[in-house]
Chain A
Amino acid sequence: AQSVTQLDSHVSVSEGTPVLLRCNYSSSYSPSLFWYVQHPNKGLQLLLKYTSAATLVKGINGFEAEFKKSETSFHLTKPSAHMSDAAEYFCVVRDNYGQNFVFGPGTRLSVLP
């Protein structure tokens, strides 16, 4: 079975400083991994995805994530936080059979002026 752990339920950074949102997964096989962002009372928007190509994945809005198989991690980073980045972020793994998307518990990012 797949599972996703997001180690921080809440991360707070100052505007202009780097962002690191941590994600670890468990999977029997090479998974597909995704990061989604959700603004309050909104649906989810895909930031980026890893699908066994390049291990460093670049997404929208300056976000990127690196797949590290040895650490079973897929941490999300951004060099410089913007106020509009404040939202809930979900790390997601897709299971071996290509059906369900398994969500992590989410990390709420706050950006302070």
Chain B
Amino acid sequence: GAVVSQHPSRVICKSGTSVKIECRSLDFQATTMFWYRQFPKQSLMLMATSNEGSKATYEQGVEKDKFLINHASLTLSTLTVTSAHPEDSSFYICSAASGSTLNTEAFFGQGTRLTVV
């Protein structure tokens, strides 16, 4: 299957700093990328959907100024957690889909474990 690379896999940052997480589709063009947050022992919560070249669509309750998403190319999307606080500590996962047809599955990155101290 297609490969989605997410980097870094782990990051520890100080409270108040910003962290950028990259999500790359390595062997296909990702027209749509999704960013999820996963709390321990819980399901994935969709944060936002981004289409290449346009602004991301954020889910209700997700602060767009805190979680900045950029999808500048068909192979790269970034999530920047601005002014991070301990409550932002979580597992963040990106996924990418090559089309909007129903039979297109999403390919997932390995996830990023963010710890804010």
Contacts and interface: CB of A to CB of B under 8 A. Distances in A.
Contacts of B49: 99-100
Contacts of B99: 98
Interface in A36-60: 36, 41-46, 49, 51-52
Nearest to A34: B105
B56 interface: no
Interface residues of B, number: 28
A49 B43 contact: no
B108 interface: yes
B101 A98 contact: yes
A104 B46 CA distance: 12
A106 B91 contact: no
Interface residues of A, number: 26
Contacts of A52: 102-103
B42 interface: yes
B61 interface: no
Given A51-B102, A94-B102, A98-B101, A41 B43 contact: no
Given A99-B49, A105-B42, A105-B43, A43 B108 contact: yes
A37 B110 CA distance: 12
B20 to A, nearest CB: 18
A71 B42 CA distance: 26
Contact of A100 (B34, B43, B108, B113): B34
Contacts of A96: 102
A90 B91 CA distance: 16
A36 B101 CA distance: 19
Nearest to A46: B105
Contact of A46 (B1, B34, B46): B1
Interface of B: 1, 4, 6, 32, 34, 41-44, 46, 49, 91, 93, 95, 99-111, 113
Given A43-B6, A98-B104, 15 more contacts: A41-B111, A43-B4, A43-B93, A43-B108, A44-B44, A46-B1, A46-B105, A51-B103, A98-B99, A99-B32, A100-B34, A101-B34, A101-B95, A101-B106, A103-B44
